[in-house]
Amino acid sequence: MMTQHTARQAAGSVMYSQLAARVLRHLRACWTLAALLLGLSWVAPAHSQAAPADAAEANCNNFQSRALKFSERSVRLVSSRFVAAGPLVFPPNPGGPGRTVSLPDHCEVFGVLQERTGVRGAKYAIRFHMRLPVAWNQRFFFQGGGGSNGEVGDAVGQVGPSLPPALALGYAVLTQDSGHDNATNTDPAYNGPLAFGFDPLARSNYGDLSLKLTAQTGKEVLAQYYGQKPRYSFFVGCSKGGQEGMVFAQRYPEEFDGIVAAAPGFSLPRAALAEAWDTQVFGELVKAPGATGFDVSRLHQAFSVGDYGLVRNAILAACDKDDGLEDGIVGDFTRCTDDKVLPQLRARLCQQDKAEGCLSSAQIAALQRSRQGPRDAKGRALYSDWGWAPGISDPGWRLWKTGFPNMTALNVTLGARSLASVFTTPPSVLPDGDQAAADFQSAFDFDRDAARIYAVNAVFKRSGWQDVGARSPDLSAFQRRGGRLIVPHGDSDAVFSLNDTLSWYREVDARAKGKAASFVRVFPVPGMCHCMGGPATDNYDAFGALVAWVESGKAPDQIIATAGPASPWPGRERPLCAYPQVARYTGRGDPEKAASFECRI
C-alpha cells in the first residue's frame, strides 16, 4: 500500500520476487508521475540566476570537495558532477508510455546523512539526490516519495506526461529515500523490502523524521552552492508523498511556502486496516464452503469485469443527473448515498443462480460492507467509510481491491506486509508468498489486533500511528507563517478514502472558525482513482495554482482539468471545484468545455 521508477525487490521465492518487483514498478511509475500531479504548469518567476557554462561546470565538479557546513553534522556529499543539457529517457512501463524529456545544464549531487548500523547489523542511512540548474529560478522543489520508498528518486521533478519537468523550469529539485535502501536493506527473512519496519529509527524516518532533515539539508546545499537561500520552497507529492506533505504542514510548518498533498496517505495505518477488511470481505465471495481461509489466486473472481460494469451503471443511474447533466460523471458525489444506489443494485440482482449480466446478493452485500469500512464488533469505525465510486469498473480500482488473473490485489501483496511490518507493534514476520499475506489478513481480528497500530513497547517507543499517521486538523502554525496547501483527491481512490480527507478538512475548518479556505483547499476529482486514471478529468494544474496562490495571492476557486486519452472522453474539460462546491452544468454551452460549468453548492 505503500512509489520511484523501478523497484528492486528480493524475496524468498523467485515467483514472489518477480511479482513484487512487477507490482512495485507499476506503483512507482504511477506514483512518481501522479505524485507531481498530471498536467501541471509553471508560473514564471521574477527572474533567474545563471552562470557561464565553464564556471558552472567548475563550481559543480569542485562542490563536493569544498569545506561545506551543515546543521546536521552527519551530512556527507558522495558526489557532485556537472551534467550538460540533454535528453533523459523514461522507458515504457505498466503505468504509462515512455517519453523523453530535455534537461538543462545542471549540477547533480548525491549525499547521505545519519549513516548508522541498525538492527541485525544492517547498514542504514538517509540518501538524498539533488539537481541544481545553472539557470536557477531561486525556488526549491521537494519531490515527494511514495509507497514504501527505499529509492533515492530521480530528482527531475516530473510535472506531467507532456510538460517539461520542474528542473527544466529552473527549480532546484530534491528527492530522498526516507532512510532505507531497497538495494541493501531488503531482507527475505523479514518481509523483504519492508524489513526496515523492524528497525525503530528506520520506521520513524519513513514516517516523518527524515523529512525535516533532508529539507533542511537541501536548503543548506542551495545556500552554499548558489550563495543564497531559495526565495520560495514548494513540496509536491501524492499518496505516501501526500502524507509527507501533510507531515510538513502539521509538524514542520516552517519548511515550505506551498504544499500539494494529493490523495494524502495521512491515515496510512488505518487504511491498512481497511485493506485487511476488504480482503476478508471479498475473500468470502470465493471461499470454499467450510474453509477457514480462501485461495488468493481466486480473489479476482469475486467480481468479473462485467460485474464491475453493472455496479458502475447502477451508480450512474442513481446519481449521474444530480450535478445537472447526465454525462458519465457523478459530480455531486456527496449526494450519492445508499438510499439511491442500493435500489439500483438490487434491480440488477440475479433471480436465480449467479450468472453474467446480474449480481448476486452476496456481491451486493460485500460492496456495502466494503463501502462502510472496517469496524469492530460494536460497530465502531476503525478508519472511514467510502463513497460509491463511479470508477469501480476501472483497472486502477480493481488493481487494489480484487486484482487480476495474473496479478494479486495490491491490498494483499503490499497491504498485508506493510501492516505487519511498519504499522503494527510489535511487527510480524510473514512467510513468503501472496497466500501467506492473504492468510495474515484473513486471520486479522479487528477487536484484538487493530489496536496494535497505536501500541508501543520497550523497543518501539513510537507507535505506527505516531510514526506515519499525519491527520491532525491543527494547521495553525502553517497558517500563521502564511503557508498554502492544496489537496486534490479522487472520489474513486481505492486506497485512501476521499471521505476521510473531507472529514479532516471539516475539522480543520472548525478549528479555523470557518476560515480554512484562506490557507487550505481540497479539490475532489470525480471518477479519479488513486492519484490518476479512472473515468475522470485527471489532468490538472494543481502546482500552477499553488504557485499563483503563494507568490501572487490568487486563491484558486477552481482548477481546469482535462480527460486524458485513456478516459472514456479524451479532451473533455471540467472545472475541479474547491470543496464543498461542485461543478454544475449551466444549461447552455458545449458540455465538453469547462466554460459551460460553474462551481457552486
Phi, psi of 296 (to 5 degrees): -65, -25
Residues in the chain: 601
Long-range contacts of 349-355 (CB under 8 A, 24+ apart): none
| Cα–Cα dist 365/441, whole Å | 20
Nearest to 222 by CA among 282, 34, 214: 214
| Cα–Cα dist 489/242, whole Å | 10
How many Cβ atoms from other residues are within 10 Å of residue 356's Cβ?
10
Beta strands in 441-572 (DSSP E): 484-490, 520-525, 539-540, 558-562
- Active-site position among 154, 320, 322, 493: 493
Q: 34: which 3 cell numbers?
A: 501522479
Bridge partners of residue 106, in order along the sequence: 83, 133
| Cα–Cα dist 203/280, whole Å | 27
Query: Which residues does 347 contact at the CB level (< 8 Å), separation at least 6?
Result: 314
Known active-site residue 384: no
Identity of the residue numbered 133: P
How many Cβ atoms from other residues are within 10 Å of residue 116's Cβ?
14
| Cα–Cα dist 86/120, whole Å | 43
- Active-site position among 530, 538, 541, 567: 530
Query: Which residues does 482 contact at the CB level (< 8 Å), separation at least 6?
Result: 257, 519
- Identify the residue whose cell numbers are 504511477: 30
Is 540 in contact with 474 (CB distance < 8 Å)?
no
Is 267 in contact with 469 (CB distance < 8 Å)?
yes
- Active-site position among 17, 178, 239, 463: 239
Q: What share of the chain is helix, strand, coil (3-state, %, to 5)?
A: 40, 20, 45
Angstrom CA distances, 49 to 120, 139, 172, 543, stand at 47, 11, 12, 22
Is 31 in contact with 238 (CB distance < 8 Å)?
yes
Bridge partners of residue 143, in order along the sequence: 236
How many Cβ atoms from other residues are within 10 Å of residue 193's Cβ?
32
Is 92 in contact with 136 (CB distance < 8 Å)?
no
Known active-site residue 530: yes
Containing H/E element for 129? strand 123-133
DSSP codes of every residue in 87-98: EEEE--BTTB--
The DSSP symbol for 176 reads: E
**C-alpha 22: how far from chain center:** 18
Known active-site residue 361: no
Whether residue 431 has a cis bond before it, omega within 30° of 0: no
Q: 123: which 3 cell numbers?
A: 547498514
| Cα–Cα dist 261/241, whole Å | 7
Q: Which residues are catalytic?
A: 239, 493, 530
